[in-house]
């Protein structure tokens, strides 16, 4: 958890990466438990599957929707569990 960039964008859960980084020692047993249960059951918690999607301008006319690409911002807990 300490390897997560403290300045990552906040996902739908509104938990800042800085909080996870600073509280890693206290919350890691709970996050590990969630990860272990997820692996045992073969499925991820439903709330961790949602992302904040923002259109990011690429180039060309800003009025053309084809000139944007979607960027998904996952929750920081989802990112931590992906690294397990």
Domain ranges of the chain: 17-82
Instruction: Decide if pLDDT at 71 tops 90.
Output: yes
The three-class DSSP label of residue 70 is: strand
Instruction: Decide if pLDDT at 84 tops 80.
Output: no
Global confidence as pTM:
0.67
In 1-84, alpha helices (H): 17-22, 24-41, 76-82
Interatomic CA distance for residues 26 and 28, integer angstroms: 6
Interatomic CA distance for residues 16 and 23, integer angstroms: 11
- List, for residues 12-69, the tens digit of each pLDDT value: 888 898 988 889 899 999 999 988 998 899 888 888 888 989 999 999 999 999 999 9
pLDDT of residue 13: 87
pLDDT of residue 60: 93
């Amino acid at each position: 958890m300490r390897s997560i960039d403290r300045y990552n964008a906040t996902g739908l859960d509104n938990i800042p990466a800085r909080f996870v980084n600073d509280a890693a020692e206290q919350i890691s047993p709970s996050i590990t438990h969630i990860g272990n249960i997820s692996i045992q059951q073969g499925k991820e918690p439903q709330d961790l599957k949602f992302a904040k999607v923002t259109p990011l301008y690429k180039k060309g006319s800003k009025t053309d929707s084809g000139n944007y690409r979607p960027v998904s911002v996952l929750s920081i807990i989802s990112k931590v569990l992906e690294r397990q």
